[in-house]
A = this chain, B = another copy of it.
Amino acid sequence: MNSTPTIAEWLVSYGNQAFEVVGVLAFALSGLIEAARKKLDLVGMAMVTALAAFGGGTLRDLLLNRRPFFWVENEFWLWAILGLCALALFFMRARHIELTERATQWPDALGLGIFAAGGTQIALDANMSPLIAVLMGVITAVFGGVLRDVVVNEIPRAFNDHQPYAVVAFAGGWVVVAANALNWSSFLAVGIGSLAIVSVRLAAMIFGWRLPTWRV
């Protein structure tokens, strides 16, 4: 059916795009900062930034056999990444920019929530079971960062920093599953799931929650 969208539909579509913008920018920033910390060149910066921003969603789409990819459909984002790297050229010359790991954690928490909740919803819409959907959400949110770290030759931070990161995304995915089971709209499900994940992640950062660790 091809009708003009109602105001509600328009708002939802607009809201979904706002989610997207924040999530992609947050992860792109984490990639850019990592690339700068490793003193990669222009190409490395563009690639690592793109991997961090699109890697998780692309892997999810490969696994779900979804096409076109997010960044093929919304080509704008590729120009944005290229523009970001052109901009970064100027910053390259600046001294004394402190690129601390902590600085990337704030936008990263936002990206985590949006990507995990959104990825879970997409997998549910593709008729995946709840567990698979939640794991696809985790993959969407975490594997951009994993690929970013693997490519710059580090053990993925998500795998060994003992912080609640992927587990928060995992738990929050079940919120999205529950909202779908209650027949809430996907917009609401993603919104509430994202909110839950971001809140818990921020709390974990602020209060310094840790996963159980190895006895030394």
Interfacial residues, chain A to chain B (CB-CB below 8 A) = 35, 38-44, 47-48, 58, 62-63, 65, 67, 69, 72, 75, 78-79, 89, 92-95, 128-129, 131-132, 135, 146, 150-156, 158-163, 165-167, 211-215
Q: Are B155 and A151 in contact, with the CB atoms below 8 A?
A: yes
Given A92-B213, A211-B43, A214-B39, A129:B167 Cβ within 8 A: no
Which residue on B lies nearest to A42, using beta carbons?
B211
Q: Are B131 and A92 in contact, with the CB atoms below 8 A?
A: no
Which residue on B lies nearest to A158, using beta carbons?
B43
27 A-B interface contacts by CB (under 8 A): A38-B155, A38-B160, A40-B155, A40-B160, A41-B160, A41-B162, A41-B163, A42-B211, A43-B158, A43-B166, A43-B211, A44-B156, A44-B158, A47-B158, A47-B159, A47-B166, A62-B62, A63-B69, A65-B65, A72-B132, A75-B129, A92-B212, A92-B215, A150-B151, A151-B155, A151-B159, A153-B153
* This chain: copies in complex: 3
Residue from B42, B89, B155 in contact with A153 in the complex, judged by beta carbons closer than 8 Å: B155
Which residue on B lies nearest to A154, using beta carbons?
B153
Given A92-B212, A212-B92, A161:B41 Cβ within 8 A: yes
Which residue on B lies nearest to A79, using beta carbons?
B131
* Chain B residues whose CB sits within 8 angstroms of the CB of A39 once the complex forms: 160, 214
